[in-house]
Amino acid sequence: MKKQVYIYRSFERFWHWTQSILIFFLVATGFEIHGSFRFFGYENAVNYHNIAAYTFIVLIIFAIFWHFSTGEWKQYLPTLKNIRAQINFYLIGIFRNAPHPTKKSVLSKLNPLQKLVYLGLKVMVIPVMVISGLLYMFYRYPQKESIQSLNIDSLELIAYVHTLGAFILIAFIIAHLYLITTGETITSNIKAMITGYEELESHEENISSKSSEENETGKEV
Amino acid sequence: MKKIATVLVLIGFVITLAIVFLKPTEIIQSNVNLLKQKYNKEKQKSVDHAKLPPLQKNFSNPQEVTATCIACHTERHKEVMASNHWNWEREEYIEGRGIVYIGKKNAINNFCIGVEGNEQSCAKCHVGFGMTDQLKAYTNENNIDCLVCHDQTETYVKASEKGGAPDPNINLTKIAQNVGTPTRSNCGVCHFFGGGGNNVKHGDLEKSMFEPTKEIDVHMAVDGINMSCVACHTSENHMMLGRVYSLSSMNRNRSTCEQCHGEQPHESGILNEHTIKVACQTCHIPIYAKVNATKTDWNWSTAGDLRDGQPYHIEDEDGNHTYLSIKGSFTWGKNLQPEYIWFNGTADHYMLGDIVEDTTKPLKVNNLKGSYDDNESKITPVKIHRARQPFDPVNKMLIQPKLFSDKYGEGALWKDFDWKRASEIGMKDVNLPFSGEISFINTEMTWPINHMVSTKDKSVDCIECHTRKESRLAGLNDFYMPGRDYSEFIETFGKAIIFLTLIGVLSHLTVRIYSSKKLKKGAK
């Protein structure tokens, strides 16, 4: 039996969608700064990119807080269990209407491949982008009456790292957008991320929703 | 409880955003407005020279005027005689050369080449009289030409080729009674016509600057704040601020934008950051030679062509000479975009007698120093004047020919059109050897562009430099600039992973659609 389960909580959805808008915007303004095309105008692109970057950093701080306070960070602990099955599913099973090898539940929302990729984003790509971005902004900065600078001779390396990260993010977005359609139905993943609810196997859902409630109560005490 | 926590987190997020973006902006009294007030004040004269008894007489010669000036201004002549306007050389330290004495006397340019042998003619723009061929005017204080700078009647004119003496027809008494702080016309009469014609040398200093509009020069605009030259080129004891790097070598006594505007004049922090590496002029002087053309190329090698034994000239539609038998062929340019160099305020110069080993690339007659790695250097707009000029291939020296004479047969190029003889006499005058052989080599002379500052809406846009195609800074490649530069490898790699991801996704999708159709068929 299947049942609607509240799987993505409101902050999680807010975080996800804000992040996605910001990343699209950062990519657009960033590649204009990079000289790939013209759209906003160079000065606007720079200013918008900086504002979006600060907004993103604020969002990241809240997201980190959220991950730890809710214990959601555990969702991203990598595991080798089921990884082969998951790869086989994407390479073969999906074409034969085989069932998803990883059962989704509130306690385990991510399949092992997702865990790996999202963890990679969280601890590698995003931090590298934030740090290289901050260095980009602050290798020179005005302060009071003078311009201060970090002891960095050239922007070259910073810019190269930042650009490389941007390319990787675009590749991720393309794959991510496509994989959204590989849920139970084509739209079930995106619906879940919009409404928070997804139709899951009731058997597991009962257990997980129960334990999640226990979790919550435990925290409140 | 869960919902309350979520709401709290959201509220916190909004508050943080608000704090970041709505931080109070300091209200600063605009520096520019204060400056406008300062320079709009009219100076009150403290002395009316027309009422001074010593000036109530008919002056028969200009030296008499100067003696009268010195009678009251008893120490001023010493200041003038110590100044760059008086001396034909000055002490400079040049890296690689040490302390040298350099000036018009021994430096070479790629216009009329040099003053040696042509002093009578060149003295028209010297603040002295009685210039002899040996620069003898140095020692006599009565030979100081006070009036050329201080005349307020705009009637004082120096005669051509008379060693700096004024036109004999002017009214010296009237002029002596009307003296004051130098005006634009006092400075311009020499500095706008350097090189023997309007705007020949500088490109950003020419006769339109006598009464420019805001479009031409925002500072000197008669429809604007109407500043004079000396408002920026301030002086103390007749030593003026300002350097021209055709002759100057050291980073000192420069007249700068920052002396009024400060180091960080912009509201935007990003623009202020640019001031570390970019000179104000780079963005604020998008074009120069806005009204009249300036000389950009001078080919001496074509000089000497005669028609029926007579020298002739050819003019373009604006009346600029494109060919002169005495000087060769010229190229002129108007509304020019500057070239850009790294410049730290120091320069080396070709000095008479320097040996040139490498003539395959253009010789830098003045070599302005700087690079990205040098903290003192800023990107600076310049006019580069290119020339082909006479060279002794055996002694490997630039040739200083004798150009001017008022008589035939003295060997002056401009009378006799004999390169060999003119070079022989010219080089002998400066005590340098001449092999008898003449070739022509390419030379470059760099002129920083400092004037013709545009209004701020006309300043150079970000995209004019931060672009991959036709960047204004395309020639400065020793640093990474966003928008212009990229790594070929990362660009290719990045595009490749995006392309491969797309291919992967699309082929997966195709197989999915195909197999789902097959499965449906099977089900039926």
* B480 shares contact with chain A (CB less than 8 Å): yes
Q: B354-366 burial by CB neighbour count: b if 16+ within 10 A, else e?
A: eebeeeeebbbbb
Question: Which residues of chain B are within 8 Å of residue A147 when distances are taken between CB atoms?
Answer: 263-264, 272-273, 275-276
Rounded Cα distance between B480 and B487, Å, is 10
Question: If you compute the radius of gyration of chain A from its CA atoms, what whole number of angstroms results?
Answer: 21
User: How confident is the model at residue A211, as a pLDDT?
Assistant: 42
Q: Token match 């002899």: residue?
A: B132
Q: Where are the domains of chain A?
A: 2-220
Across B4-8, B169-173, B367-371, least confident range: B4-8
Q: Which residues pair with A200 in a beta bridge?
A: A3
User: How confident is the model at residue A215, as a pLDDT?
Assistant: 42
pLDDT digits (tens, 9 = 90+) for B231-269: 999 999 999 999 999 999 999 999 999 999 988 889 888
Q: Is the pLDDT of residue A219 over 60?
A: no
Residue A50: closest C-alpha in chain B: B270
Question: Which residues of chain A are within 8 Å of residue B480 when distances are taken between CB atoms?
Answer: 154-156, 159
| Number of other residues whose CB lies within 10 A of the CB of residue A200 | 22
The answer to whether A155 contacts B480, with C-beta atoms less than 8 Å apart, is yes
User: How confident is the model at residue A208, as a pLDDT?
Assistant: 44
Residue A139: closest C-alpha in chain B: B273
pTM confidence score: 0.88
User: How confident is the model at residue B92, as a pLDDT?
Assistant: 92
Residue B77's pLDDT band (boundaries 50, 70, 90)? very high
Q: Is the CATH number 2.40.50.140 carried by domain A2-220? A: no
User: How confident is the model at residue B133, as a pLDDT?
Assistant: 59
Mean pLDDT of the region B368-390: 95
Rounded Cα distance between B112 and B257, Å, is 31
Q: Helix axis angle, A10-33 relative to A188-195, nearest 10°?
A: 110
Q: Answer for the pair B63, B129: CB distance below 8 angstroms, yes or no.
A: yes
Residue B37's pLDDT band (boundaries 50, 70, 90)? confident
Mean pLDDT of the region B83-89: 87
Q: Is the pLDDT of residue A205 over 60?
A: no
* B505 shares contact with chain A (CB less than 8 Å): yes
Instruction: Round to the nearest angstrom and report the end-to-end CA distance of chain A.
Output: 33
Q: Which residues pair with A2 in a beta bridge?
A: A201
User: How confident is the model at residue B65, as a pLDDT?
Assistant: 95
Structure-token pair, residue A176 = 């991510």
Rounded Cα distance between B63 and B218, Å, is 39
User: How confident is the model at residue A207, as a pLDDT?
Assistant: 44
- Residues B232, B234, B237: CA angle, nearest 5 degrees: 170
Cα-Cα-Cα-Cα dihedral sign, residues B120, B122, B124, B126: negative
Cα-Cα-Cα-Cα dihedral sign, residues B485, B491, B495, B498: negative
Mean pLDDT of the region B73-86: 93
Touching A: B residues 256-275, CB under 8 Å: 263-264, 269-270, 272-273, 275
Q: Token match 């003038």: residue?
A: B80
**Residue type for A206, please?**
N
Q: Higher-confidence residue: B336 or B23? A: B336
Across A91-100, A160-169, B491-500, least confident range: A91-100
Across B105-114, B128-137, B388-397, B464-473, least confident range: B128-137
Instruction: Round to the nearest angstrom and report the end-to-end CA distance of chain B.
Output: 51
User: How confident is the model at residue B524, as a pLDDT?
Assistant: 66
Rounded Cα distance between A118 and B330, Å, is 67
Rounded Cα distance between B495 and A35, Å, is 15
pLDDT digits (tens, 9 = 90+) for B149-188: 999 999 999 988 788 889 999 999 999 999 999 999 999 9
Residue A221's pLDDT band (boundaries 50, 70, 90)? very low
Rounded Cα distance between A21 and B9, Å, is 19
Q: How far is B342 from chain A (nearest CA, A)?
A: 16
The answer to whether B501 contacts A171, with C-beta atoms less than 8 Å apart, is yes
Question: Which residues of chain B are within 8 Å of residue A31 when distances are taken between CB atoms?
Answer: none
User: C-alpha distances in angstroms, B389 versus B297, B314, B323?
Assistant: 11, 20, 15
User: How confident is the model at residue B22, as a pLDDT?
Assistant: 63
Rounded Cα distance between B346 and B523, Å, is 85
Structure-token pair, residue B522 = 């099977």
Q: How far is A204 from chain B (nearest CA, A)?
A: 22
Structure-token pair, residue B237 = 């004891």
Q: Token match 């002759």: residue?
A: B247
| Number of other residues whose CB lies within 10 A of the CB of residue B230 | 19
The answer to whether A142 contacts B502, with C-beta atoms less than 8 Å apart, is no
Q: Is the pLDDT of residue B27 over 70?
A: no
> Given B2, B493, B505, which is nearest A174 (Cβ)?
B505
Mean pLDDT rounded to a whole number for chain B: 91
Q: Is the pLDDT of residue A217 over 60?
A: no
Q: Is the pLDDT of residue B118 over 80?
A: no
Look at residue B439 and give its three-state secondary structure: strand
Element holding B379 (H helix, E strand):
strand B378-392
Q: Is the pLDDT of residue B208 over 50?
A: yes
Residue B120's pLDDT band (boundaries 50, 70, 90)? confident
pLDDT digits (tens, 9 = 90+) for A125-161: 999 999 999 999 888 766 555 666 676 778 899 999 9
Residue A64: closest C-alpha in chain B: B9
Question: If you compute the radius of gyration of chain B from its CA atoms, what whole number of angstroms results?
Answer: 31
Give me the interface pTM, i.e. the ipTM. 0.87
| Number of other residues whose CB lies within 10 A of the CB of residue B395 | 18
How would you write B90-149 as a 3-class SS string?
Answer: EEEEECCCEEEEECCCCECCCCCCCCCCCHHHHHHHCCECCCCCCCHHHCCHHHECCHHH
Q: Is the pLDDT of residue A213 over 70?
A: no
Residue A56's pLDDT band (boundaries 50, 70, 90)? very high
